[in-house]
Amino acid sequence: MAQVTRITVEATVNAPVAKVWNAWNTPSDIMQWNTPDPSWHTPSSENDLRVGGKFKNRMEAKDGSFGFDFEGIYDKVELHKEITYTMLDGRKATTLFTIKNGKTNIVTTFDAETENDPEFQKQGWQAILNNFVNYVESTNL
């Protein structure tokens, strides 16, 4: 089996971990921030945040030219600390939440897929994470 490329993205949110956790996991919030750029959106989101639970976020180009379901099953859920899941194609992702000086640091490490260049994937996931930070910091959740 080919070696899996692991990619890590990271950001710090100027908000307490409870607020960050809720925005990360609430479907109505996910639909607001889960996009790599303004030409995309997430018109629907489902999230059953528990071990064995499933999530599904519909991601689409706003012009209707392309769309896909990003989904997986949770392997580990530790409140305000860690979420690990397996995507339907078998790739894994882990997001860690740590508190530093009243801010919340988020680090996500995921298995790269083989269709797109790893740097392109990193840029896309980082853009979504940056969008999340802007959403949390600019929204009175």
- Name the residue ranges covered by the structural domains of the chain: 6-37+78-138
Cα end-to-end span (Å), the chain: 44
Determine the pLDDT at residue 43: 97
What's the pLDDT band for 1 if we cut at 50, 70, 90?
A: low
> How does pLDDT run across 19-53, given as a tens digit for each residue?
999 999 999 999 999 999 999 999 999 999 999 99
> How does pLDDT run across 131-140, given as a tens digit for each residue?
999 999 998 8
- Provide the CATH topology of domain 6-37+78-138: Alpha-D-Glucose-1,6-Bisphosphate; Chain A, domain 4 (3.30.530)
Q: What angle do CA 91, 95, 100 make, to 5 degrees?
A: 160
Model confidence, pTM = 0.94
